Amino acid sequence: MRIEIIVGAIQTQPAEAIVVNLFEGVTEPAGATGAVDQALSGQLRVLLAGGDFRGKPNEVAVLYPAGAIPAQRVILVGLGKAEKFTLDGARQAAATAAKKARELGVTHLHTILHGAGSGGLDPEKAAEAVVEGTLLGLYRFNELKTKLDDVRPDIETLTLVELDAGRKAAMETGARVGQVIAESTALTRDLVNRPSNVATPSYIAEVARQMAGEVGMGCTVLEKDALTALGMGSFLSVNQGGDEPARMVILEHNLGRDDLPTVALVGKGITFDTGGISLKPGQGMDRMKGDMGGAAAVLGALRAAALLDLPLHLVGLLPLTENMPDAQAVKPGDVVRSLKGLTIEILNTDAEGRLVLADALTYAGNFTPAAVLDIATLTGGRVIALGAHAAAVMGDDALCARLQTAGQVVYERVWPLPLFDEYHEALKSDVADIKNIGGSREASAIMGGCFLSKFTPDDVPWVHIDIAGLEFTEKDQPYVPKGATGMGVRLFVELLRTWSAG
């Protein structure tokens, strides 16, 4: 989509549709919305007086000026209570209005900046939120449909209309950031939405290579032989049962910049998780095409970080493989040797994410990182513990706290779980150094975290983010439509932006 910013009055724009807003409880619209109301001889006040529009969050109404102003339509969106309004409200309002506009067949949309008037938001941040919300809300995945007859066309341009010329430069900066973040999230969503017969390990590696070329970052793809030579027996054990060869993608933003702190992001990249020999039940198994959601989030975050030119040396590690059952597949009871040298007794082949991450986390140590974060659709236990509204984080307390702050800002919230010493005891194996499951159903998200902690580089702060179940949403939300969410991209970008800021 093309984004532009113009200085002028919203009510004078010749537009297919203009978007204005109202806080809940307002009876006399002010600012840009007030100006539109006046130009429409008080039509908005009539709507409010009749109780037809109350300004609830994401409430939307469409008015037809019929020549009273040059715009063909006025889309009015509710912002909720002024005292509860945040940046997220601006994202949501923008998304709601844009989806309404698209439904009406609008292809060129004009909008004011939600929340930058009486909402008190900084114009740069508000522009970022409006552009981000618009693009994320309009996201859809139609590439596999051949019949698109009843699909509305895409919105081609979004014009932010601002009266104060002094705000234009800041808005341009914010709008660009919002676009980069939203488009990077869309890349992640696309990868998660794509089925496993399309998004294979080599396919994702190719997408990574192409993305890296476009934004100018380093990309190395380790093929199966290289992984074998390195000694990644844990990772490769998961690949044994499938025909698609494993790949490890290594992305590097600011490659070779020794002066910058290094942060390594590791993403679980199971392109389909059948469970292996410990086969999953059939019900809902299709969702396991999204078991590479962590890897896809790392890819999206790296793209955004490069385009935003964040002053960090960022390493993205994507261990990619299917988890399939066949005659060659790893079997319960098998013992494999990890890159770290620790032997692992695999008691459940469906606890495969930790096996691929173990070797990738160890490999991250080669980059002497200041911090390592992994993100993974790791356990059903995460879903049971926290449901739809928070990912689980485990590991370094300070880093968990920073992620909590970042998550609150972008509304991809996280909540900590403990990795107390006592929990680790359940992973002791009779025949190997460690086993890959705790053996009971207790604390399974924590067991995943405990296992991973044994393979992280020594003395480096590390956090594990379990996003199982959050890679998709069943519920259509204003800027997270049903389907792949892209969870993790915005969380990482916010963390890394504040990291760079000091």
Binding-site ranges for Zn ion (CB under 5 A): 270, 273, 291, 353
Among 399, 166, 163, 391, which Cα is nearest to 264's?
Answer: 399
Q: 243 is written with which tokens?
A: 């025909």
Q: What is the largest CA-CA distance in the chain?
A: 82
Per CB under 5 A, 412 contacts Mn ion: no
* 251-280: contacts with Mn ion (CB under 5 A): 273
Q: Which of these, 418, 419, 454, lies nearest to 436 by C-alpha position? A: 454
Determine how many CB atoms are found less than 10 A away from the CB of residue 356: 31
Locate tokens 């504040």: which residue? Answer: 498
The distance of closest approach from Cβ of residue 20 to Zn ion in the complex, given in angstroms and rounded to an integer, is 46
Q: List 337's β-bridge partners, or say none.
A: 343
Answer yes or no: are the C-beta atoms of 224 and 274 closer than 8 Å. Answer: no
Query: Minimum Å distance from CB 215 to ligand BES?
Result: 29
User: Which member of 183, 350, 396, 494 binds ligand BES (CB under 6 A)?
Assistant: 350
Contact 371, 456 (CB under 8 A): no
Q: How far is the CB of 288 from Zn ion (least distance, A)?
A: 7
DSSP three-state, residue 457: coil
> Is residue 394 left, alpha or beta, with left meaning phi > 0 and alpha meaning psi from -120 to 50?
beta
**Among ligand BES, Mn ion, Zn ion, none, what does residue 116 contact (CB within 5–8 Å per kind)?**
none
Nearer residue to Mn ion within complex by CB, 272 or 479 = 272
201 binds ligand BES (CB under 6 A): no
Between the alpha carbon of residue 27 and those of residues 34, 36, 37, 46, 397, the distances in Å are: 10, 14, 11, 9, 47
Contact call for residue 162 and ligand BES (CB under 6 A): no
Residue 354 annotated as catalytic: yes
**Residue choice 11, 58, 321, 377 for contact with ligand BES (CB under 6 A):** 377
379 interacts with ligand BES by CB under 6 A: yes
In sequence order, what are the beta bridge partners of 265? 316, 373
The footprint of ligand BES on residues 454-493 (CB under 6 A) is 468-469
**Which C-beta is closer to Mn ion: that of 345 or that of 352?**
352
- Minimum CB distance to Mn ion, residue 491 (Å): 23
CB of 457 to ligand BES, least distance (A): 23
Query: What is the contact mask toward ligand BES in residues 281 to 310, using x (rule: CB under 6 A)?
Result: ----------x-------------------
Asked if 351 touches ligand BES (CB under 6 A), the answer is yes
For Mn ion, which is the closer residue by CB, 350 or 471?
350
Catalytic residue at 54? no
- Considering the rule CB under 6 A, would residue 134 count as an interface residue with ligand BES? no
**CA–CA separation, 87 and 32 (whole Å):** 19
Distance CA 266, CA 362 (A): 10
Told to check if 350 binds Mn ion by CB under 5 A, we report yes
Encode 391-422: b = buried (16+ Cβ within 10 Å), e = exposed: bbbbbbeebbebbeebbebbbbbbebbebeee
Q: Which of 140, 176, 280, 331 is catalytic?
A: 280
Contact call for residue 374 and Mn ion (CB under 5 A): no
Q: Is 273 near ligand BES (CB under 6 A)?
A: yes
Distance CA 212, CA 206 (A): 10
Query: Which one of residues 118, 228, 348, 477 is an interface residue with ligand BES (CB under 6 A)?
Result: 348
Q: How many residues bind Mn ion (CB under 5 A)?
A: 3
Binding-site residue total for ligand BES (CB under 6 A)?
A: 17
Closer to ligand BES by CB, 16 or 273: give it. Answer: 273
Residue among 450, 390, 445 at smallest CA distance from 419: 450
Which residues carry out catalysis?
A: 280, 354
Q: Which residues bind ligand BES (CB under 6 A)?
A: 273, 291, 348, 350-353, 377-381, 383, 437, 444, 468-469
Interaction site with Mn ion (CB under 5 A): 273, 350, 352
